[in-house]
Chain A
Amino acid sequence: MSRIAATFERLAESEEGAYIPYVCCGDRGVEFTGELMRRLSRAGADVIELGLPFSDPLADGPTIQAAMVRSLSSGFKVATLFDLISRARSDGMDTPIVVMTYYNLIIRMGLDIFCKRLAEAGADGILPVDLPMEESADLERIAGAHELDVIRLVSPTTNDERMAQILQSARGFVYAVAISGVTGQRDSLPHSAIAMLKRLRDKSDLPIAIGFGISNQEQVRQAIAAGASGVVEGSALIDIYARGLSEGEDGALDLVEKHAREMKDSARAAVASREKRS
């Protein structure tokens, strides 16, 4: 069984929601990224999403764009991603790792080499942000051959028929996009997101992680009550360590770790209270 599947199985058994932080590779330096992964894992992250910086991230909001610009202008190279993952694995980190990337970076290296190196480094999945199902046959075949899950996205504007088709090829978990737009913080979950979660739950037994705009514990409770298996948080984490950096890197990492624990606690509690209610 894949590491991702095993993780969600364990969470289902212990009735916990998943907490999935997103980390932009190379922002504030590669060492910082490595340390961030370690701290998040220690705080209880169930899956870590590692984002590859891209020059033209059209699905991302201002916070992640800025992080990507910082990373690229400090000289980040795609090859570093594999080092980061294999180092985390040799340090004993067992948290599943999903790599979030724009498709051009995969094409450039070659689908087979990219997937092979990811698998060898110890990653578990790929989440291609700008690859809809119409274009994804090649990647699905090759990733599958390397035992990597291709994580599929659905959005509130994905209609029922399309959702069913996407779910057919979905592996690991489904990534539900909470807003019609780009990443960045929002206060609460829009109605369309709640409706999407219900539609997804009706159609599939796969775990559902909801992301884009998640930053607080109230949203975690809302999302899980509406049927999500967990939440993804990105921009908010970047903002937290940006604020903390005036206290030095350790201070920033402490703040992130504390926040991550709180989010994981909410995710843990939310499933139990959902079960009680139903």
Chain B
Amino acid sequence: MRAKGYFGGFGGFYVPEVLVASLKELERDYQQISQTAEFEAELQSLLRDYAGRPTPLYYARSLSDRAGGARIFLKREDLAHTGSHKINNAIGQALLAKRMGRSRVICETGAGQHGVATATACALLDLECEVYMGETDVERQKLNCYRMNLLGAKINVVKSGSRTLKDSINEAMRDYAATSEDTHYLLGSVVGPHPYPTIVREFQSVIGTETKEQMARETGGLPDALVACVGGGSNSIGLFHPFIDDEHVQMFGAEAAGDGIETGKHCASVVVGEEGVLHGSRTLILQDDDGQVSDTSSVAAGLDYPAVGPEHAHLSASKRAKYFGVTDQEAVLAFHLLSEAEGIIPALESAHAVHLAAKIAREFSKDQSIVVCLSGRGDKDVAQIAKLEGRL
């Protein structure tokens, strides 16, 4: 008997027995609930009236001119409520939790963006919310912690392991194993055991579905390439997935190469990771010779994760998508470039995608087009960059 939730040879369901019953129930309830017209209608109305969808598709003329090649379009997830794509999944799953009869929601967060999105959706839907966040991240993301508190969420500071995102996922799973009767675990990316990579992808696919319609209207056709940053991989899968069968649309993922792949201080798990099992999923992982998971590093806290969603591992193995490392330095340059060229301050995570797009644009002609997922806005990162550059 083969478990469900495989993408090629990746994915699956590698969890302790105590989690099996809850995850099977989640799978069943998701399938039933998400297909009802009622759920769909409520989700669509919240995405439109509350989250501000559809987000614009913007032709970045000045960025395109500077890059010198293809026309670059930005899918403006930074303009969604709470400032990133994370809200798409948070609203979808919170609505699901509500209909599953859960009164409490838990989640993990690294940078705090998913924590803020979840706290927001819980405030909206009157759900109790607890956020697991590593001690290291709490220190570097004080403002987002305050935002979560304002929204009524409780932050549980995680002091185990490396005290970052991966440990927060461990801690949230431990909580869920003991509390799933009244609690939903609202996982923030396309990682973890089945059914999460599928559920999160479905809620994020709105990005690509809208893009397809908008491009048809704008250019009368499909884009030639898609570019997105890849942490766990949710904004990228959200953009890519509706185009998977459009063979001529190329796909590029920007992973965080930190100080440079050769230094070992990065989190480019597709580029250099190796197959293994982490957080319930068979995927590509940064690990040592024994199989212990590596500590990672990136200027963008939201990309700082030692593995990647299993569907990306599959897209890479099957060569449907290509993945490249973008260093901290390149991302910071792109952060400035977009701010100056377009008057848009991108999240540092998204700046990785901007760099990669500007670089590959040169390999395309002026009548071709590239869509970049601008996954979030950079307000949260301004203080960090000012400090890095000695201006604060």
B277, A180: Cβ atoms under 8 Å? no
How many angstroms from the CA of A55 to the CA of B22 in the assembled complex? 24
Does A5 count as interface, using CB distance less than 8 angstroms? no
How many angstroms from the CA of A66 to the CA of B287 in the assembled complex? 20
State which size class the interface on A falls in: 35 or more
Residues of A within 8 A of B22 (CB): 157
B291, A104: Cβ atoms under 8 Å? yes
Does A107 count as interface, using CB distance less than 8 angstroms? yes
Does B17 count as interface, using CB distance less than 8 angstroms? yes
B2, A108: Cβ atoms under 8 Å? no
Residues of B within 8 A of A107 (CB): 275-277, 291
How many angstroms from the CA of A79 to the CA of B231 in the assembled complex? 32
Interface positions, chain A 170-200, Cβ under 8 Å from B, are: 177, 179-182
How many angstroms from the CA of A214 to the CA of B276 in the assembled complex? 32
How many angstroms from the CA of A131 to the CA of B193 in the assembled complex? 12
Q: Mark A96-111, 1 if CB is under 8 A from B, else 0.
A: 0000001111111100
Q: Mark B1-39, 1 if CB is under 8 A from A, else 0.
A: 111000000001111111011100000000000000000
Does B292 count as interface, using CB distance less than 8 angstroms? yes
Nearest Cβ in chain A — how far from B190, in angstroms?
A: 18
Interface positions, chain A 137-188, Cβ under 8 Å from B, are: 137, 153-155, 157-159, 162, 177, 179-182
B177, A130: Cβ atoms under 8 Å? no
Residues of B within 8 A of A12 (CB): none
A182, B177: Cβ atoms under 8 Å? yes
Closest to A77 in B: B290
How many angstroms from the CA of A30 to the CA of B169 in the assembled complex? 30
- Given A135-B12, A180-B178, the answer on whether A155 and B18 have CB atoms closer than 8 Å is yes
Does B348 count as interface, using CB distance less than 8 angstroms? no
Residues of B within 8 A of A131 (CB): 14
- Given A130-B16, A180-B178, the answer on whether A78 and B161 have CB atoms closer than 8 Å is no
Does A69 count as interface, using CB distance less than 8 angstroms? yes
A130, B20: Cβ atoms under 8 Å? no
Interface positions, chain B 133-163, Cβ under 8 Å from A, are: 160-161
Residues of B within 8 A of A59 (CB): 16, 18, 174, 177
A133, B161: Cβ atoms under 8 Å? no
- Given A157-B22, A181-B177, A181-B178, the answer on whether A104 and B17 have CB atoms closer than 8 Å is no
How many angstroms from the CA of A59 to the CA of B17 in the assembled complex? 9
Nearest Cβ in chain A — how far from B14, in angstroms?
A: 5
Residues of B within 8 A of A54 (CB): 291-292
Residues of B within 8 A of A159 (CB): 21
Residues of B within 8 A of A65 (CB): 160-161
- Given A104-B285, A105-B290, A157-B22, the answer on whether A132 and B161 have CB atoms closer than 8 Å is no
Nearest Cβ in chain A — how far from B367, in angstroms?
A: 47
Residues of A within 8 A of B290 (CB): 77-78, 105, 108-109
A58, B293: Cβ atoms under 8 Å? no
Residues of B within 8 A of A251 (CB): none
Nearest Cβ in chain B — how far from A275, in angstroms?
A: 30
Does A57 count as interface, using CB distance less than 8 angstroms? yes
B177, A134: Cβ atoms under 8 Å? no
B2, A134: Cβ atoms under 8 Å? yes
B174, A56: Cβ atoms under 8 Å? no
How many angstroms from the CA of A93 to the CA of B275 in the assembled complex? 37
Nearest Cβ in chain B — how far from A66, in angstroms?
A: 8
Residues of A within 8 A of B21 (CB): 155, 157-159
Closest to B13 in A: A134
Residues of A within 8 A of B279 (CB): 56, 58
Q: Which of A54, A106, A130, A181 has the most CB of B within 10 A?
A: A130
A-B contact pairs, 20 of them (CB 8 A): A55-B293, A56-B166, A62-B160, A65-B161, A69-B161, A102-B277, A103-B14, A104-B285, A105-B291, A107-B276, A108-B276, A108-B290, A109-B291, A130-B15, A153-B16, A154-B17, A155-B16, A159-B21, A177-B18, A181-B18
**14 other contacts beyond A108-B289, A134-B13, A179-B178, with CB at 8 A cut-off?**
A55-B293, A56-B161, A56-B167, A58-B173, A58-B279, A59-B16, A107-B276, A130-B15, A134-B2, A135-B12, A157-B18, A157-B22, A158-B21, A182-B177
Residues of chain B whose beta carbon lies under 8 Å from any beta carbon of chain A: 1-3, 12-18, 20-22, 160-161, 166-167, 169-170, 173-174, 177-178, 180, 275-280, 285, 287, 289-293
Residues of chain A whose beta carbon lies under 8 Å from any beta carbon of chain B: 54-59, 61-62, 65-66, 69, 72, 77-78, 102-109, 129-135, 137, 153-155, 157-159, 162, 177, 179-182
8 A-B pairs closest in CB distance? A108-B291, A181-B178, A134-B3, A157-B21, A59-B16, A58-B170, A55-B292, A153-B17
